[in-house]
Amino acid sequence: MRLNLALGTYWFTLEARDLKIRKTLVLGIGNTLLTDEGVGVHLVEYLKHLHPDRDGIRFLDGGTLSFTLAAELEEYQNLIIVDAARTGGRPATVAVYEGPEVDQYLRGTRQSVHEVGLGDLLDIALLAGHFPHRVALVGIEPWNVEWGDSLSEPVAKSLPVAAEAVMALIAKWANEPEDPERVGNPFAVIGKMGNNY
């Protein structure tokens, strides 16, 4: 799903109404020593600055991924992964994948810069019974992944758009009724996502 103007509606809804936000982990992953490859980490830091005290939401720097992160998912109903992602689009393009689209993206030909680790992390979370009720990926097309500790100018300018996409997903999910099949049953979620998880 490409980012579109409808996301702004959910952003306004989240800010304007006292919604019950389901516990959501926003996990930024990437290597901040490889320029745009670290955009996921930069984005969660940006979101922390914008929303320092948002109840029910945790912004976590996941670095270059570790299997220990699977345990972090246990207490969260929703997971949003933010990462550099090669989608074939122009540099700094923001793409949003939700539910089955995450599975299709990770297992397809257009994959995350470090997709093996991300897929393995989700597999471990599933096996441990920590798989969230909802999963989404917000990916930003990198421009430069050479050595460097700051983002390229085009990708840095995309941070507000990517941040809005993250908060739009949270607001959208807050407006949705909970699916009783998902509660306490991660395999119900995986069944809807496909056969790969």
Lowest mean pLDDT among 11-25, 65-79, 121-135, 136-150: 11-25
Distance from C-alpha of 197 to C-alpha of 81, rounded to nearest angstrom: 16
> Among residues 60, 73, 16, which one has the least CA distance to residue 166?
60
pLDDT band at 68 (very low <50, low <70, confident <90, very high): confident
What's the pTM? Answer: 0.80
Class at the top of the CATH hierarchy for domain 7-191:
alpha beta
What value does the mean pLDDT of the chain take? 80
pLDDT at 112: 54
